């Protein structure tokens, strides 16, 4: 597992897919806002080996999977994801008002979540999902920079990690999870995500109250969830703010 994670991290550094367990192709599409051709990597096959305690999949490719980002106007999108009406609204925000000014180094999924929120027509759960993905995406940048520093490798790809951005992304995701309706299909899974982000931010008392809430949710508190909660309780007891993974659970 440790070697696998190393391979994935090297994949980030080289910004290529790790072809040991996966296959991918470069796909071209047109930006729905400005019609510029955008190329991005599309994974055809990959494997998931474990998950973070924040449920981030860890496997032979980086999760979340790559999404197109237009170099011309900055729009981050998923193909056939926006209606024509939404595109008209977003063209105004992104091209006319330049709303991403000053946030150029944020992860792609942050931009996608941000525009979904601007539309005001999308479900809070869907918005929260992509804000959570923005933390996952940035976590790999953190891992890559750590790896570069520990191994004294030259940062030729100019990978840039900023701790205050990382903290903001987690706080922001917690705020968006708080707005999700209890009927949303992954509402309870998002409580596990929130719990992990709070622990990693050092908000241990808040994390403990989420643990109590999850324990009282009888339909959800069973199986692996019980193991995760037990593990989180141990980590909180140790004031542990690091990332951990489901394959570490051996209590
Ligand atoms: Zn564009």
> How large is the angle between the packed helices 108-119 and 84-91, nearest 10 degrees?
110
Per the model's pLDDT, the better-predicted residue between 237 and 8 turns out to be: 237
Eight-state DSSP code of residue 51: E
pLDDT of residue 45: 87
pLDDT in tens, 22-46: 788 999 999 999 999 999 999 888 8
Distance CA 176, CA 129 (A): 9
CA of 94 to the centre of ligand 1 (A): 9
Long-range CB pairs of 222-230 (<8 Å, 24+ gap) are: 225/192, 227/251, 228/53, 228/192
Which tokens hold the place of 154?
A: 């030259």
- Expressed in angstroms and rounded, the spacing between residue 74 Cα and the centre of ligand 1 is 6
**Average pLDDT score over residue span 80-101:** 89
The answer to which of 49-53, 65-69, 83-87, 98-102 has the lowest mean pLDDT is: 98-102
Task: Tell me what pLDDT residue 101 has.
Answer: 77
Cα(14) to ligand 1 centroid in Å equals 25
Q: Produce one character per residue of 171-210: b if its CB has 16 or more CB atoms within 10 Å, e if not.
A: ebbbebbeebeeebeebbebbbbbbbbbbbbebeeebbeb
Q: What distance in angstroms lies between residue 76's CA and the mean position of ligand 1's atoms? A: 8
Encode pLDDT of 104-113 as tens digits: 789 999 999 9
pLDDT tier for residue 7 given thresholds of 50, 70 and 90: low
pLDDT digits 0-9 by tens, 183-223: 999 999 999 999 999 999 999 999 999 999 999 999 999 99
Using pLDDT thresholds of 50, 70 and 90, give the confidence band for residue 144: confident
Distance (Å) from CA 91 to ligand 1 centroid: 9
Which residue's structure tokens are 């990978």?
Answer: 159
Kindly give the distance from the C-alpha atom of residue 187 to the centroid of ligand 1, in angstroms, as a whole number: 33
Q: What is the pLDDT of residue 16?
A: 47
Provide the pLDDT for residue 89.
Answer: 93
Residue 98 is predicted with a pLDDT of 78
Which residues on adjacent β-strands are paired with residue 27? 40
Mean model confidence pLDDT for the chain:
90
Which among 74, 144, 57, 71 has a CA at the least distance from the CA of 112?
Answer: 74
93 vs 54 pLDDT, higher one: 54
**Is pLDDT above 80 for 6?**
no
How far is the centre of ligand 1, averaged over its atoms, from the C-alpha of 75 (Å)? Answer: 5
122 Cα–ligand 1 center, Å: 21
4 strand-pairing partners = none
Q: What is the dihedral of CA 60, 134, 130, 191, to 10 degrees?
A: 90
Least reliable range by pLDDT among 46-50, 94-98, 118-122, 164-168: 94-98
- The CA 32 to ligand 1 mean position distance, Å, reads 7
Determine the distance separating the centroid of ligand 1 and the alpha carbon of 28, expressed in angstroms.
13
Alpha-carbon span 220 to 133, nearest angstrom: 22
Q: What is the DSSP string of 10-48?
A: HHHHHTS--TTS-EEEEEEEE-TTT--EEEEEEEEE--E
**pLDDT tens-place string over residues 159-169:** 889 999 999 99
- Please give the share of the chain, as a percent, with pLDDT higher than 70: 91
CA 157 to centroid of ligand 1, rounded, Å: 23
**What's the CA-to-centroid distance between 23 and ligand 1, angstroms?**
27
Ligand 1 centroid distance, CA of 62 (Å): 24
Token readout for 182 is: 């209890």
For residue 112, how far is its CA from the centre of ligand 1 (angstroms)? Answer: 13
pLDDT at 157: 78
Q: What is the per-residue pLDDT for 242?
A: 95
For residue 37, the CA-to-ligand 1 centroid distance in Å is: 8
Provide the CB-side half-sphere exposure for 176 (13 A, CA): 27
Query: CA Rg, the chain, in Å?
Result: 19
pLDDT at site 167: 98
């Amino acid at each position: 597992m440790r070697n696998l994670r190393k391979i994935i991290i090297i994949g980030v550094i080289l910004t290529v897919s790790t072809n040991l367990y996966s296959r991918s192709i470069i796909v071209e599409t047109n930006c729905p806002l400005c019609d510029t051709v955008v190329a991005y990597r599309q994974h055809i096959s990959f494997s998931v080996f474990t998950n973070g305690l924040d449920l981030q999949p860890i496997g032979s490719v980086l999760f979340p999977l790559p999404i197109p980002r237009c170099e011309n106007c900055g729009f981050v999108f998923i193909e056939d994801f926006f209606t024509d009406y939404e595109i008209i609204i977003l063209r105004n925000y992104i091209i006319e008002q330049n709303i991403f000014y000053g946030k150029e180094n944020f992860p792609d999924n942050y931009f996608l979540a941000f525009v979904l929120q601007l539309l005001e027509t999308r479900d809070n759960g869907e918005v929260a999902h992509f804000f959570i993905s923005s933390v996952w995406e940035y976590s790999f940048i953190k891992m890559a920079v750590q790896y570069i520093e520990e191994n004294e490798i030259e940062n030729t790809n100019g990978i840039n990690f900023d701790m205050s951005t990382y903290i903001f992304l987690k706080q922001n995701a917690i705020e968006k999870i708080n707005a999700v309706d209890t009927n949303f299909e992954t509402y309870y899974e998002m409580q596990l995500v929130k719990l992990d982000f709070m622990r990693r931010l050092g908000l241990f008392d808040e994390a403990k109250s989420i643990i109590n809430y999850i324990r009282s949710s009888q339909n959800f508190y069973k199986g692996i969830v019980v193991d995760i909660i037990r593990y989180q309780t141990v980590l909180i007891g140790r004031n542990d703010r690091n990332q951990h993974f489901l394959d570490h659970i051996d209590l």
